Copies of this chain bind each other. A is one copy, B any other.
Amino acid sequence: MKAQTRESHINPRRGGMSVRSIARRALLLSLLSSGLLGLRLGSATAQDAPLPSWNDGITKKSITDFVARVTAPGSPDFISPEQRIATFDNDGTLWCEQPIYFQFAFALDRIRSMAPQHPEWKTTQPFRGVLEKDMKALAASGEKGLLQIMAATHAGMTTEQFSEAVTDWIAFARHPRFNRPYTELVYQPMLELLAYLRANGFKTFVVSGGGVEFMRPWMEKVYGIPPEQVVGSSGSVKFAIGSDGKPELTKLTKIEFIDDGPGKPAGINRFIGRRPVFAFGNSDGDLQMLQWTTAGASARFAGIVRHTDADREYAYDRQSKIGKLDKALDAAAAKGWTVVDMKSDWRKVFPD
């Protein structure tokens, strides 16, 4: 079984076969099963085949089969290049989202760095809780506290100042468990998937509940996805001519759009204006995006990253507070969507 799957990746787009190619195939199979060629072929395959960090199996095959099916000229499922819109959730799909959303880690760090200018925070919740790392007090402040933290750290500055703050933080902050920059905690198999889709004429978009202005400063470099292909939640901005005569956009506390759950199809409609043919998520917040994607008329692909690997990353699903995967997992089973089992499907989780 394994040998067969491997072999199919040597010639992933093989159509009809000549006598010679059948003979070669038989020879390869026999060599493979006898193990003689194993090592050499292994490295050759890794170099030539797409998605090298994905283990061979039905998950990887569901992706490569779909792409072959919709890109082969003359295929009944052919999709024209301009319709090849692929959307990806970010937190938990393209990068890690534990133990807290990375954008929230940014907000907490920012409270700490802004504290000298805000002496009143020493005695006011939820800020005091952040400064004293009193997670109980922080949790007690509830959604109101969360909104206060987001407002204090994400508003009241120009869009350019905010972009700089994000860029600075991304460069220096380290994840508490892995002690690596957050942008190194992206999933290597998903980076390969993005590149593979683009190589096959897809236009890749991020469609995330995260703040669009938090994501754009680093995504082009890390994912190869330019700012104009990043869809996310946003706050209002105010245009004004500054004191230096230059126009400015200032970030306000008013939340303008939440790109999560039913907001994802709405965001796709508003920002992209075309229904995706390929979508990937990891949580119930992605359910509606996957429903919207797969309800289109042509061939469609829906994928879910399931976090099953407590050793290399984290293991969580139906009971998790962050990235809860429950209804979308049931929908995947009912609809035959692809569910990635991180532990068994991914040869590698993070880039080296």
Cα-based distance from A105 to B202 in the complex (angstroms): 36
The contact of A247 among B203, B213, B273, B288, by CB within 8 Å, is: B288
The contact of A237 among B203, B227, B238, B266, by CB within 8 Å, is: B266
Q: Which residues on B sit within 8 Å (CB–CB) of A96?
A: none
Cα-based distance from A221 to B292 in the complex (angstroms): 25
Cα-based distance from A270 to B232 in the complex (angstroms): 9
A200-235 to B contact mask, C-beta < 8 Å, 1/0: 000101000000110010001000001111100010
In the complex, are the beta carbons of A82 and B273 less than 8 A apart? no
CB of A69 to closest CB in B, whole Å: 23
Q: Which residues on B sit within 8 Å (CB–CB) of A272?
A: 227-228
Q: Which residues on B sit within 8 Å (CB–CB) of A240?
A: 262
Q: Which residues on B sit within 8 Å (CB–CB) of A262?
A: 238-240
CB of A240 to closest CB in B, whole Å: 8
- Known contacts: A212-B273, A247-B295, A295-B246. The answer to whether A239 contacts B288 by CB under 8 A is yes
In the complex, are the beta carbons of A273 and B239 less than 8 A apart? no
CB of A271 closer than 8 Å to a CB of B: yes
- Known contacts: A228-B273, A246-B295, A271-B271. The answer to whether A266 contacts B288 by CB under 8 A is no
CB of A265 closer than 8 Å to a CB of B: yes
CB of A254 closer than 8 Å to a CB of B: no
Cα-based distance from A271 to B237 in the complex (angstroms): 13
In the complex, are the beta carbons of A270 and B220 less than 8 A apart? no
CB of A11 closer than 8 Å to a CB of B: no
- Known contacts: A246-B295, A249-B265, A292-B247. The answer to whether A273 contacts B237 by CB under 8 A is no
CB of A241 closer than 8 Å to a CB of B: yes
Question: Considering only CB atoms, which chain B residue lies closest to A160 in the complex?
Answer: B275
In the complex, are the beta carbons of B291 and A241 less than 8 A apart? yes
Cα-based distance from A240 to B292 in the complex (angstroms): 10
CB of A347 closer than 8 Å to a CB of B: no
The contact of A269 among B203, B249, B292, by CB within 8 Å, is: B249
Q: List 29 A-B contacts (CB under 8 A).
A: A82-B220, A82-B226, A213-B273, A216-B273, A227-B273, A227-B274, A228-B228, A228-B229, A228-B271, A228-B274, A230-B273, A234-B270, A237-B266, A237-B269, A237-B270, A238-B266, A239-B262, A239-B263, A239-B265, A239-B288, A239-B292, A240-B262, A247-B265, A247-B291, A247-B295, A249-B266, A249-B269, A256-B270, A271-B271
Closest 10 CB pairs of A and B: A227-B273, A239-B262, A216-B273, A228-B272, A247-B291, A239-B265, A246-B295, A237-B266, A227-B274, A247-B292
